[in-house]
Amino acid sequence: MAEKVFRAALDEAGLAETVTVTSAGTGGWHTGEPMDERAAEVLRAHGYDASHVARQVDSTVLSANVLVALDAGHRRALRDSVPEPDRVVLLRSFDPDSPDDAEVPDPYYGGPDGFAEVLRMIEAAVPGLLERVRKEL
């Protein structure tokens, strides 16, 4: 979901052709599968693209300038995989109204309201992430 929201923000900012964005899991459990239909439904309802095929983190992903994790477990796994752990940040760290070390919870085992709440958290953080990317260009 975060990838789709950030891609839309990049497109709106005229940076879609300049910035590469990808989404990958730290484990291979869902590799090759589409996104959860509940996530896709929430994204489509808010005007976002919902096409997606899951992939696992690889060397291409790890070479990114910024690695954005949604929770502390993912952040830890990514930091353990790169020589510059400061490149790994929590998405909600870009939301000025979030508490320190705030995470985006995994709504997978909950109901559809969890996916809507996750979308709200992502949308609140994306402007700050976009500003960071602008500064690095």
Over the stretch 9-58, which tens digit does the pLDDT of each residue have? 999 999 999 999 999 999 988 999 999 999 999 999 999 999 999 999 99
28 or 118, which is more confident?
Answer: 118
Compute the radius of gyration of the chain from its Cα atoms: 14
Q: Where are the domains of the chain?
A: 2-131
User: What average pLDDT does range 66-81 have in this prediction?
Assistant: 97
pLDDT confidence bin for 110, thresholds 50/70/90:
confident
pTM: 0.94
For the segment(s) 2-131, the CATH number from 3.40.50.2000, 3.40.50.2300, 3.40.1550.10, 3.30.70.1230 is: 3.40.50.2300
